[in-house]
Amino acid sequence: MSDRPSAVPDLVRIRNRLLLQQKELYVSAVQELNMKTRELLTNDFGTTLVRNSARDLAGEVVRRFFDMGDTYITVDQMYDRIVNFSYENDRDLLEGDEAIRKSFYNMNDSAEYSSTLQRISEQSRKAQKQLFMENRSQDKLDARSKRQYRESRMQPDGKLYDELTGREGSVVTVIRNGKPVVTSDLHADHIQARESAKYNSRYIREDRLDELKLSYNSEDNFLLMHASANTSKSDVRVCVIDGKVVNLQSKEMKSRMEKGENITDITHKATPSQLADAIIEQWEKETRSGDKKRVLQEKGYLDEDGKVKPSVRKELEARIRRSQNRESMTILKSTKYGTVAQDAAKETARSVHKIMAGQIIYYVLPPLVFETREILRRKDLTWEGFLTELKRAGARVVHYVKGKLGKMAGGVFQHSLNKFLKTFFDIILELVKATVKKLVKLVKQLVLSFVNCVKIIADKNATAAQKADAVTKTLSVTVTAFVLELLFEDLEKQLQIPGMLMEPLQIIVTVLVTNVIMLVLQKADLFDVQYGLLVANMEKVFDDVHSHYVQESERLMREGTADMDAIMAELEEEVRDIGESIAWADPYRDDLLPSVERINKLFHMGIDFESEWKTFLQPAWRGLP
């Protein structure tokens, strides 16, 4: 308000402004309501997918390659929480859909970067012992099993067939020790070589070793193949030299190892396809005479180009897989689960400090950063003020953390259990091979999912629908991931993608597919959880906008009426004053111009008294007698 005395137009202006302001306020409230509601109703599938996937990827890359799985907090979660934390906006990222995705990713670690997996692998390597120590010629089981296998494959007409090519073997009668003996050019031999057979002395029960030996000499580990094929494959081993898989003859391997070369024999845990590759490499190798390849071509192993026929490779691989499965089943029956559990517990104990650190950082760091930021923001702070503020901030942080202690303890317990189960299964996975390995992997994921589901179901704060929703999502993601893993194994073989590219590719695809599934389930909203949330959010938006509108409108009204009342009082005072000045005036002595001028101004009448007076006293009148 200016210094000049108020006039009626001032009052009218405030009156008009009040009406306009009310209207504007309403329009902006409607706009805000519409905007926020639209945002809630527009389910932007694409943006959410991209944003969540990008964040998950960032989290996954750091978790895997920096071996951060044990903290059970990912970088993106940490960042999000630190940046957005305030005591009012304390959104716990360890709950909800994001937690389901993250705990799912954390079921598997990188074999190359995880220290736990490295230790398991190293321990397993050290615990490897030769299964067959006795001399082969004195091993009655060996000779008897071979004979039995050959007899079992003999057709009623006495013929034998090569099990890799399906061709009939040729029979020659020779005189041995004066007796005619029928010999075949087909050999019955071990699929997984007896010489390379090893067992994990730490986890396999000693009393079950005979059972394991039996499984090596069972018909699942025998194969009828051509003599040349059998002899030429000889005793080949799968080795790792400088991180590369190389197939070596056992003699060559031993001599090179003796010379001090760093060679790791991984034959005992090689996959069926690795073993098949090793054998095929031997078959396709040139010999000086060239006889071997010629015979193998004749016998249907190699094609005209000297390469192993696909059908032979497929059959060989299938046989190896069957053999490994049989062995793995025996191993599963012979494992010292107590020792496995002990070792898993030891690994868990090793990780507990990381798990705890994760929880502490997650709950303590954000309020600390928040308080620091708040203090730094205040520029007017004196040294004394700073100290008081610091004390207050400290008290707030301590209060907040105290409130979260229960959650932290719960988190440590839950993650320790998860780590224990994960490691338990990882040790078993190190023992078994082929299809059994895949099945154990599935069991591992189901068990971990199941534990997560139990946690969800035990949550007192969630409704039945929310629980059902979370459990459905957890299980769907697990099952899909398993299917995905099978697909990937196939893809790796089909496209010959190198292993170093495989891991990143798998991370990317897993993250994307997981997010898509989560979003699809969210969209389908089978249990009305999203709908309920949406409705709750809509109501909240409305309540916020509505109360803000009412508050503002009332403030406008209050302020407007106060201003108007003040001016009104001033005007009344002015009118009374004018009234008095006129009432007491003497028309002969007092010039009443100031008084009428006040009325003129008060009501904006627009009269120019001076000029009116001049017109009244026209010049023509002057000087007249």
Partner 1 sequence: MGWFDRFADWAADKVQSFTGEKERRRLVAELKDHVAEFKENVENALAILNRRIQGFNDRIRELNRLRQGDVFRNIAVLSVFLGKFGEVKDAGDYAGEREKPMQALPERPFETRETYISDVDWSSDEVFVNTFFRTPLGMKFKTRKQNLSMRERLHEFKLEAEHTLKELETRAFAVETDQNICALYIECIKYISRFIEEVILPELELVEAFFQALAIKDRVIAGHPLQHAAFRNRNPIWVLRDTPYEKHYLFVKNAFLFYVLSCKIYNTPVLTRLLDHQTTNEDLTAMERQKEAIRLQGEHVRRQLIMSGQVAL
82-111: which residues touch partner 1 (CB under 8 A)?
83-84, 89, 91
Task: Collapse the DSSP code of 441 into the 3-class scheme (helix H, G, I; strand E, B; otherwise coil) and give the result.
Answer: helix
- Rounded least distance, CB 520 to partner 1, Å: 14
Task: Report the SS3 class of residue 414.
Answer: helix
17 or 125: whose CB is closer to partner 1? 17
Shortest Å distance, C-beta 452 to partner 1:
21
Give the residue, chosen from 368, 408, 412, 534, that forms a contact with partner 1 under the rule CB under 8 A: 534
Query: Minimum distance between the CB of residue 285 and partner 1, rounded to whole angstroms?
Result: 60
- Contact segment (CB under 8 A) with partner 1 among 209-217, 308-316, 458-466, 573-581 equals 573-581
Rounded Cα–Cα distance for residues 168 and 195 (Å)? 29
568 binds partner 1 (CB under 8 A): yes
Beta-carbon contacts of residue 370 (< 8 Å; ≥ 6 apart): 85, 86, 87
Our CB check for partner 1 shows the closer of 501 and 585 to be 585
Helix axes 310-334, 434-458, angle to 10 degrees: 50
Could you tell me the smallest distance in angstroms from the CB atom of residue 17 to partner 1?
A: 5
Q: Taking CB under 8 A as the criterion, which residues in 299-338 touch partner 1?
A: none
Residues 428-487 close enough to bind partner 1 by CB under 8 A: none
Size of the site for partner 1 (CB under 8 A): 94
Are 246 and 210 spatial neighbours (Cβ–Cβ below 8 Å)? no
Instruction: State which residue, 86 or 201, has the beta carbon closest to partner 1.
Output: 86
Q: Which stretch binds partner 1 (CB under 8 A): 137-145, 154-162, 397-405, 617-625?
A: 617-625
What are the φ and ψ backbone dihedral angles of 247, each rounded to 5 degrees?
-100, 125
Beta bridge partners of 175: 180
* 8 A C-beta contact, residue 250 and residue 235: yes
Taking the complex as a whole, the smallest distance from the CB of residue 613 to partner 1 amounts, in Å, to: 7
Angle between helix 593-602 and 609-616 (nearest 10): 130
Would you say 261 or 572 has its CB closer to partner 1?
Answer: 572
Q: How far apart are CB 27 and partner 1 at their closest, in Å?
A: 9
Q: Which is nearer to partner 1, 140 or 622 (CB)?
A: 622
Segment interacting with partner 1 (CB under 8 A) among 16-24, 144-152, 272-280, 474-482: 16-24
Q: Which of residues 26-85 bind partner 1 (CB under 8 A)?
A: 26, 28-37, 39-44, 47-48, 51, 80, 83-84
* Residue number, 350 or 601, with CB nearest to partner 1: 601
Residue found by looking up tokens 């396809």 in the block: 273
Residue type at 194 in one-letter notation? R
Min dist. Cβ of residue 82 to partner 1 (A): 13
Ranges within 210-229 binding partner 1 (CB under 8 A):
none
Whole-angstrom Cα distance, residue 265 to residue 196? 9
Nearer to partner 1, 490 or 539 (CB): 539
Q: How far is the CB of 75 from partner 1 (least distance, A)?
A: 16
Output the six-digit token pair for 383: 């040294």
Among 1, 535, 536, 562, binds partner 1 (CB under 8 A): 535
3-state secondary structure of 263: strand
Please tell me the number of Cα atoms within 13 Å of 329 on its side-chain side.
11
Which one among 1, 5, 23, 143 touches partner 1, defined by CB under 8 A? 23
**Selection from 299, 155, 154 nearest residue 227 by Cα:** 299
Q: Provide DSSP, 317-369.
A: HHHHHHHHHHHHHHHHHHB-HHHHHHHHHHHHHHHHHHHHHHHHHHHHHHHHH
Q: Please check whether residue 436 is in contact with residue 329, taking contact to mean a CB–CB distance below 8 angstroms.
A: yes
Residue with smaller CB distance to partner 1, 17 or 198:
17
Q: Specify the stretch interacting with partner 1 by CB under 8 A; choose among 189-197, 380-388, 489-497, 561-569.
A: 561-569
d(C-alpha 163, C-alpha 122), whole Å = 37
In the block, tokens 């799985």 appear at 69
Smallest distance, partner 1 to C-beta of residue 128, A = 50
Binding segment toward partner 1, per CB under 8 A, in 135-143, 253-261, 424-432, 545-553: 545-553
* Beta bridge partners of residue 248, listed in sequence order: 237
What is the amino acid identity at position 103?
S
Q: Which of 1, 5, 9, 443 binds partner 1 (CB under 8 A)?
A: 9
Which listed residue (435, 537, 566, 601) binds partner 1 by CB under 8 A?
A: 537
Q: Is 404 helix (H, G, I), strand (E, B) or coil?
A: helix
CB of 61 to partner 1, least distance (A): 20
From residue 574 to residue 603, the character string flagging contacts with partner 1 as x (rule: CB under 8 A) and all else as - is: -x--xx--xx-x-xxxxxxx--x--xx-xx
List the x/- string, 487-526, binding to partner 1 by CB under 8 A: -----------------------------------x----
Cα–Cα distances in angstroms (integers) from residue 215 to residues 190, 210, 564, in the given order: 11, 9, 101
Residue 383 or 584 with smaller CB distance to partner 1: 584
Furthest-apart CA atoms within the chain: distance in Å: 184
Nearer to partner 1, 25 or 491 (CB): 25
Compute the distance between CA of residue 270 and CA of residue 327 in angstroms, rounded to an integer. 13
For residue 284, the surrounding DSSP H or E stretch is helix 272-284
Report residue 447 CA to chain centroid gap.
Answer: 18
Q: Is 549 in the site for partner 1 (CB under 8 A)?
A: yes
